Structure 1
Amino acid sequence: MSAELKGGITTGSCAALAAKAAALLLFRHERVDRVEIPLPDGSRLTWSVASLEQNDDSVEASIIKDAGDDPDVTHGARIRVRVTPCQGTNIIFRAGPGVGIVTLPGLALAVGEAAINPVPRTMITAAIREVTDHGVMVTVAVDGGEELAAKTFNPKLGIEGGISIIGTSGRVRPFSAPALQQSLKCALDICVASQTTAPVFVPGNMGRAAALRAFHLKTQQVVEVSNEWGYMLEQAQAQPFTALLMLGHPGKLAKLAIGRWNTHSSQSDSAVPFVTDLARQVVQRPLADATTVEGVFMEHLTAPQRRRVADRLAEAIQRNTAETFPACWQPQVVLINLKGDILGSAGNLLPWLPHPEAVSV
């Protein structure tokens, strides 16, 4: 058995930690060297504050990013957050040096916005609200962020000037194929032990939340597979399942239609060209190039076209999965957008009893 790998924290957690430390000094005159924040799953995280500096009308705090044993380009980076009071009660986000600006449509943030993703924004807001209800401007900066961004996908996504502040859980799970597969197999074993006959495979937190919102499910019924779709589908073949649902964003799942069973960006190319070509075939008209799969759907297609393209894509994913992993269960597919709303599907979804109010776009 391989040694357990050390986990770490996301840039989103770093920003939330720094924001709370700064807010404590600014609004409560409390200077702390360790700070605690809530995480999206309800747990809490305590971390050391690297620096804390007060100016006339603001406070800046910094946190050193620790990615644990994960090969993260931002490991060791200093994440700085300046908190400044402002009128009203809103929390306003700004990009400081080293944090990118969104310049192209198709991402979860509008063009012109600081590249601070939705979950980190929620985390920062929750951390500050534990201190004050006052209006606050939050400026996030990263030392050397522009150089770090050149080692990421940001330039291809049209995010200019620095890195993105990201993370969906607040914690970094180190990437090691054997260790990851072992933990995923444990989750599948728990699913089987709960006498589940119709599991739902999702890539991660976003898929889990969407699945639980859209369908009547037991907690153990939803199994996170990360990027290891090939490994987990192979494992599922040996289990006494009668049905299996694959649910996730087409940016990941579209790769399965072309036989890329590890969907990690280091192991498979972008699905944008394949999805764009499929969309052009379905709508039978030229489509402008997009930088992301989300952009193909949300920027270039009408609502009816989205459904037609998503259904066709889901069918392609279903067909290739069934051919590659023949089993007694027929894989069913549901595709969602970044908000967790259903884009399209393929197959019989009755084993999971969809909620009547589930959103479809």
Structure 2
Amino acid sequence: MVSAQPRCGYTLPVFACAGAIAALHQLIHHASVPTVAFNLLNPDETVEIEIEQVAPLSKNSALAITRSDPGDNLDLTRHTPIWSIVSWAEACQTEQILLEGGEGIGHHTDGDAIYAYARQLIVTHLSAQLTDTQKIKVTIVLPEGRRLALRTSNAAFGVVDGLSLLGTSGIAQPLSAPDQLTVYRETLRQKAADYLDLVFCLGENGLDLATQHGIDADRRLKTANWLGPLLVEAGELGVRSILLFGYHGKLVKLAGGIFHTHHHVADARQEIMAACCVQAGLETTVAQQVLASATTEAALEILKSLDRSSGENWVEQVYGVIAKRIDQRSHAYIKTHTEQSVQVGSILFDRQRQIVVKSEIGQILLAN
């Protein structure tokens, strides 16, 4: 029996946008709509999204509610409601469309956790419905966002008090479905047919940051936790180089030879970091503190604190060791399984989405 393909759904920005379109329609035309159809932009595909409820809140504002459907993915936002509130702007507003996060949308140091794709999607489709003189404010609310965020790693990336409207695409790929590796491998084959040099990103943060650092979006490949098999596949396809771009708490596992990064498979992050501390020449007492730390982020903070108090550069030295080992281990892993020599570089970032280290090879590949 041939298993059915995992069903794709849509990312949270799509439902937020659909609700905003419906709310604006209510505000302008004083009528509700059961569905809205619009282009996802990425990909260039028109979809129809069901609107659960629409209501005027006052003569100047309206609310529409959608409900998340991520497809065949073990996503904790499944069926969560998304409220989109659209109101006419106050006189002092300068932007045509002011987009803000309400209750349940997380916050980080730069403001509301509403990222580029969500903003592009909402602004593009709502501005098309406005005259040159009309201005609106759009507020996105996730009533369950604060509670659901406690079950995510958002805090590890500096996002607090809610969920992010994160994503670079409108399609929610079923990452946890058993057949997902097959889908990833097919995507890799397509990209390898066009590019000799690829960029592997573990998740959405890596994909987003990669483009911010000038990487061609078409060369990026999302890997989730499937780094090992995808590295091997790339070697077999004749890929010339791979730049690994990811959160340090995940990529550090590769420095210890762990090529499936899900914590259910193996987790020796602090042990690997402690070993790299010793290799970098740190005192045993500091390496022991790193080993005993609760998270890799806490271990990184130990090194940052040491740098501040000593005037040294232990973060650079230790993470230089980590990045070099990631490159070497990844190159060797591909060589062992394919007999192909693929140049591998790495770039690691922290929970504030700031780059911690670029390996020597990583810097070269980033410049290409």
Coarse TM-score class (shorter-chain normalised): 0.7 to 0.9
Residue 186 in 1 paired to residue 191 in 2? no
Q: Which residue of 2 aligns with 1:175?
A: 175
**Structure 2: gaps (5+ residues):** none
- Mapped to 1, the partners of 2:141 and 2:214 lie a distance apart of 40
- Mapped to 2, the partners of 1:85 and 1:276 lie a distance apart of 56
The offset of 1:118, in angstroms, is: 4.4
Residue 347 in 1 paired to residue 341 in 2? no
Matches within 5 A, 1:97-136: 99-102=104-107, 109-110=108-109, 113-132=111-130, 134-136=134-136
8 Å Cα contact 1:40-1:123 kept in structure 2? yes
Q: Which residue of 1 aligns with 2:343?
A: 331
Between Structure 1 and Structure 2, the one with more helix by share is 2
1:153–1:25 CA distance, 2 compared to 1 (3 A): same
Cα RMSD over matched residues?
A: 4.3
- Mapped to 2, the partners of 1:295 and 1:130 lie a distance apart of 48
Q: Secondary structure at the match of 1:3?
A: coil
The offset of 1:52, in angstroms, is: 0.6
- Mapped to 2, the partners of 1:208 and 1:69 lie a distance apart of 22
- Mapped to 1, the partners of 2:275 and 2:115 lie a distance apart of 28
Q: Secondary structure at the match of 2:233?
A: helix
Cα deviation digits, residues 282-331 of structure 1 (max 9, x gap):
7979899998869969x9889x9676666443212112223433343143
The offset of 1:272, in angstroms, is: 8.4
Q: Secondary structure at the match of 1:55?
A: strand
Residue 313 in 1 paired to residue 322 in 2? yes
- Mapped to 2, the partners of 1:218 and 1:166 lie a distance apart of 16
Q: Which residue of 1 aligns with 2:10?
A: 9
Q: Which residue of 2 aligns with 1:226?
A: 224
1:215–1:38 CA distance, 2 compared to 1 (3 A): same
- Mapped to 1, the partners of 2:159 and 2:215 lie a distance apart of 38
- Mapped to 2, the partners of 1:27 and 1:147 lie a distance apart of 34
Q: Which residue of 2 aligns with 1:245?
A: 242
Q: 1:95 aligns with which of 94, 102, 105?
A: 102
**Structure 1: gaps (5+ residues):** 103-108, 356-361
Q: 2:83 aligns with which of 80, 85, 89?
A: 80
The structure having more radius of gyration, on CA atoms, is 2
Cα deviation digits, residues 210-241 of structure 1 (max 9, x gap):
6678789795x654433310111232343444
Q: Secondary structure at the match of 1:249?
A: strand
Cα deviation digits, residues 80-133 of structure 1 (max 9, x gap):
11122223233141322xx0443xxxxxx327x444344333433333323236
8 Å Cα contact 1:275-1:296 kept in structure 2? no
- Mapped to 1, the partners of 2:22 and 2:184 lie a distance apart of 35
8 Å Cα contact 2:279-2:321 kept in structure 1? no
8 Å Cα contact 1:14-1:63 kept in structure 2? yes
The offset of 1:270, in angstroms, is: 9.8
The offset of 1:23, in angstroms, is: 1.8
- Mapped to 2, the partners of 1:262 and 1:292 lie a distance apart of 17
1:92–1:217 CA distance, 2 compared to 1 (3 A): closer
Does 260-269 or 165-174 show the bigger shift? 260-269
Identity of aligned residues (%): 22
TM, length-normalised to structure 1: 0.73
Letter in 2 for 1:47: I
Q: Secondary structure at the match of 1:163?
A: coil
Letter in 2 for 1:334: S
Q: Secondary structure at the match of 1:174?
A: coil
8 Å Cα contact 2:326-2:346 kept in structure 1? no
8 Å Cα contact 1:52-1:62 kept in structure 2? yes
Q: Which residue of 2 aligns with 1:52?
A: 54
State the aligned residue count. 340
8 Å Cα contact 1:145-1:163 kept in structure 2? yes
1:340–1:190 CA distance, 2 compared to 1 (3 A): farther
8 Å Cα contact 2:235-2:342 kept in structure 1? no
Residue 63 in 1 paired to residue 70 in 2? no
Matches within 5 A, 1:198-217: 198-203=197-202
8 Å Cα contact 2:236-2:340 kept in structure 1? no
Cα deviation digits, residues 40-98 of structure 1 (max 9, x gap):
525243211111110222111110111221111111111111122223233141322xx
1:63–1:222 CA distance, 2 compared to 1 (3 A): closer
8 Å Cα contact 2:43-2:169 kept in structure 1? no
TM, length-normalised to structure 2: 0.72
